[in-house]
């Protein structure tokens, strides 16, 4: 596997139908960061993904990388 952490590659992982690929993309994002425009995709995985391990990983990434105001808004408005 390649170590290409480009936004295009990351988007492919996060948008995959395979939960294992999504988790891999989230792991990549947590380790190397995620472009701000992709935080919405991570938030969507956190809120609506069918796989609870993907949701947990996305929550971890979002809470680590999102700006404080976005984290506070998420905590205030979203309950699993």
Residue whose pair of structure tokens reads 């995985």 in the numeric block: 45
| pLDDT given at position 3 | 57
Q: Which long-range contacts (CB under 8 A, 24 or more apart) does 17-23 make?
A: 19/49, 19/51, 19/53, 19/54, 22/49, 22/51, 22/54, 22/57, 23/53, 23/54, 23/57
pTM over 0.95: no
* Confidence grade of residue 1 (pLDDT, cut at 50, 70, 90): very low
| pLDDT given at position 32 | 87
| CA neighbor of 26 nearest in space, from 41, 11, 14, 38 | 14
């Amino acid at each position: 596997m390649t170590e290409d952490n480009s936004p295009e590659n990351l988007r492919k992982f996060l948008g995959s139908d395979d939960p294992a690929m999504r988790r891999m993309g989230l792991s990549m994002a947590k380790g190397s960061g995620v472009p701000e425009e992709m935080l919405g995709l991570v938030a969507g995985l956190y809120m609506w993904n069918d796989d609870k391990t993907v949701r947990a990983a996305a929550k971890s990434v979002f809470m680590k990388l999102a700006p404080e105001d976005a984290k506070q808004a998420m905590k205030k408005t979203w309950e699993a």
